[in-house]
Amino acid sequence: MKVWRPHSANNSATSSCYLTSSRKVFTAEKKMGILQVNRKLLPVKVHYFLYNGALAGVIAFISVYAKQLGISAGALGFIFASVSSFAVISRPLLGSLVDHFQRLKLVLVCLVLINIAADLVMNFIPQPASIPVNTINNSLICHQNISYNIRLRTDICEWNINFCDGDCIYSCHRCKFNRTTCTYNSQTLSNSKLISNESQNCIQQILANCNDSIMEHCTEWMKDSNDGSITPENPLLQLCTVTVLTVLMYICMGSLASLSDAACYNALGDRRDLYGKQRMWGTMGWGSFAFIAGYLNQLTTGSSSKYNFSAGFFMSIVLFLIDLLVISKLKLENTKKSKHIFKDVGNLISKPSIILFLLRVLSVGIFRGMSSYYVFWYLRTLNASQMVLGCASAVLCFLGELPFFFLSGWIIRKIGHMNAFIVSFSSYGIKFLSYSYIVNPWWSLLIEVLQGPCYGCLYAAMTSYAKIISPVGTEATVQGLASGTLEGLGVASGCLLGGYGFQNFGGRKTFFWTGMIAFVLAIVNCVINIVSFYRRTGRTDEIPELKISLKAQKCDPSPGDIITS
């Protein structure tokens, strides 16, 4: 029986694209039925499940946690950009060390232990002391027998400003008042205007016309914030502690991701088409435990206006400890060593086609950075609860990434590696534009389904392509390079741009223009793919896999693609 396998980078261009699959994996799969699981790959699946589930308890909520500690959007963007920049160096560096010393398990264990320590300390960062402010009270009378008492900060509010100016609104809480129209105190807000008499909450009508910066202050859940005090912005202790711990966590997280992928491909042998079916267990872990963490955090928070994230942190630590046992059970084989790792990788990335590949990865990383770290921030400005955030993470994983990881091998064979980037750019465009228009945070559950074409299929295509083009003995290094470009340099740039946009233009405008740029990149990459396809026709001096990917050559899959995982 024959299965499709892309050429090795060292094979001649005349090699056949039909080769015998890895004997060990193939033999194990041949004996299995439809519902049976390959035991050789079971530890890989469990590792992905536990490792991503552990990250979900902390990473999924870290931007909201930092916001509660008084860290601004701009400062948070700088932090994430800084730590992501470290990943550009740490991922390929650790990958090259693994390639040289062949100690993949030991490095994985060390990274998990460091992550446990960072999570534990992060949980005990103290809340900054509140500072008093002078305030005055006004009332906002709304539809449906509901009104809001508004508290204005006199130190930044002037008598002649309009309702939507910056941080003029300090807090508001719901109260009962029987009126049918929206009115304002004309003496206090002289430039305000009457909101139309539509059958919806007046507060939503007002906030829809306001800059995002006041949404996070004027919402129902801040009903306890009427004591005339606020959290200082960017307190030194909290800012420094969060920065240091986030650096450690993200270096470990990033290196764990790329090295786990290297371990997965090591276990798969020549069956690279089964990668998505292993990686989807990580998506299941993230979705399951992000939802559980959100629910547990909601329970421990109770009626307090300050969220309690301890449950998520402790859940993460427990999962990491179990994962240590699973890592010890991974069955990995030593790969061939490269005598000149950096020279081989340097020769590889000097090729124009590989440079273009890395630029595409960088662009997707920018969109991923803005999506990963500012969507939850944006939803909080729309009064999203912990439950909404947890549900959004679950939808993102189970209805978004999971199906696309499962079908990634089939999709890549149909459209090719490079066309997966066009799908990703187009999907990010729809996602960001949709967020720029919503008012109700529950709409995020529908939007997050797009995470599948945005990231699920793209990530499988990226890692598969990196495995194909990597010279012998540099597999972990090249995986680290691709992953570092995506999650390091790309995410860092996205964090900086997102922080600047949220700080100066608000979330709506930032997401709107990001979506437009994503559509432009989709069109540009479509043109590049068409031109590249015709230029490469009939040429054999390039890496054979590039030609195969561009043509999206269809080869008959083995039955194992359908009945095994």
Q: Are 380 and 67 in contact (CB under 8 A)?
A: yes
Which residue is associated with the tokens 């680290």? 480
Which two three-digit tokens encode residue 353? 């086609």
Using CA atoms, how far apart are residues 144 and 179, in angstroms rounded to an integer? 8
CA neighbor of 238 nearest in space, from 327, 126, 366:
126
Which residue is associated with the tokens 């050559």? 553
- Burial 293-328, CB ≥16 within 10 A → b, else e: bbbbbbeebeeeeebbbebbbbbbbebbeebeebbe
The one-character DSSP state at 517 is H
The model carries a pTM of 0.62
Which two three-digit tokens encode residue 1? 């029986």
Q: Are 344 and 473 in contact (CB under 8 A)?
A: yes
pLDDT digits (tens, 9 = 90+) for 294-338: 888 888 887 776 778 889 999 999 999 999 999 888 877 666 555
pLDDT at 424 over 80: yes
CA neighbor of 426 nearest in space, from 374, 490, 364:
364
Which residue is associated with the tokens 């995470």? 451
Using CA atoms, how far apart are residues 293 and 123, in angstroms rounded to an integer? 14
pLDDT at 275 over 90: no
pLDDT digits (tens, 9 = 90+) for 531-559: 877 776 554 444 444 444 444 434 333 33
Q: Are 348 and 97 in contact (CB under 8 A)?
A: no
pLDDT digits (tens, 9 = 90+) for 153-167: 444 444 333 443 334
Environment class of 252 (CB within 10 Å of its CB; exposed 0-12, middle 13-18, buried 19+)? buried
Bridge partners of 138, per DSSP, are 150
Q: Are 369 and 492 in contact (CB under 8 A)?
A: yes
Using CA atoms, how far apart are residues 163 and 86, in angstroms rounded to an integer? 42
Q: Are 360 and 256 in contact (CB under 8 A)?
A: no
Using CA atoms, how far apart are residues 399 and 389, in angstroms rounded to an integer? 15
Using CA atoms, how far apart are residues 155 and 174, in angstroms rounded to an integer? 24
- Burial 452-487, CB ≥16 within 10 A → b, else e: bbbbbbbbbbbbbbbbbbbbebbbbbbbbbbbbbbb
Return the higher-pLDDT residue of 227 and 244.
Answer: 244
Which two three-digit tokens encode residue 262? 């290297």
The helix or strand, by DSSP H or E, that contains position 396, with its residue range, turns out to be: none
**346 SS3 class:** helix
The one-character DSSP state at 135 is E
CA neighbor of 522 nearest in space, from 439, 423, 450:
423
The pLDDT of residue 319 is 94
pLDDT digits (tens, 9 = 90+) for 47-89: 999 998 998 888 878 877 888 888 887 787 778 777 767 767 7
**What is the pLDDT averaged over residues 499-525?**
91
Which two three-digit tokens encode residue 326? 């699973």
pLDDT at 252 over 90: no
Using CA atoms, how far apart are residues 392 and 389, in angstroms rounded to an integer? 5
CA neighbor of 74 nearest in space, from 492, 505, 501:
501
CA neighbor of 348 nearest in space, from 360, 357, 335:
357
CA neighbor of 421 nearest in space, from 549, 257, 248, 509:
549
Share the mean pLDDT of the chain.
71
